[in-house]
Amino acid sequence: MSSSSTAGPGIFFGEPPPEKLTRDNYTLWRVQVLRAIRGAQLVDLLEGIDDGPPKTITVEPTDKEKEVKEIPNPDYGPWLARDQILLSYLLKSLSREVLTHVHRIEHSAGIWRAVEEMFAAQHQSKIMNL
């Protein structure tokens, strides 16, 4: 098996961390996952800065047409694909005990927020003890 995998057009991740996220290893897990996500240039998705284009766009009527139309946005599909690749990477890095809390979340930013909320106190306590 290759040490890096292609996660989609122009998106490269290493393997998920060897140790999946549990109650006891959030800080180490976070460091490993963030490095891979930064390397794949997907931090904006993760942090919700790039929350995606609208699913549809409005097309103004032409001389022949009288009505405004809603059509699929051609930018939405590629954005969704990038988000779902990142979501999949995150899910693969979670233990069963964590996965049961976030499995219904549909976008990567939502997973990241939920995990950060679950482990925020643990992360802060480790930083304070440094």
Tens of pLDDT along the chain (130 residues)? 333 344 455 677 778 899 999 999 999 999 999 999 999 999 999 998 999 999 999 988 877 777 888 999 999 999 999 999 999 999 999 999 999 999 999 999 999 999 999 998 765 555 555 5
Helical (H) or strand (E) element with 48: none
Q: Report pTM.
A: 0.80
Give the pLDDT of residue 105.
97
Start-to-end CA distance of the chain, whole Å, equals 37
Could you give the CA distance from residue 40 to residue 29 in angstroms, rounded to a whole number?
17
Give the pLDDT of residue 1.
34
Give the pLDDT of residue 104.
97
Helical (H) or strand (E) element with 107: none
Where do the structural domains in the chain lie, given as residue ranges?
4-119
Give the pLDDT of residue 121.
73
Closest CA to 53 of 23, 33, 79: 79
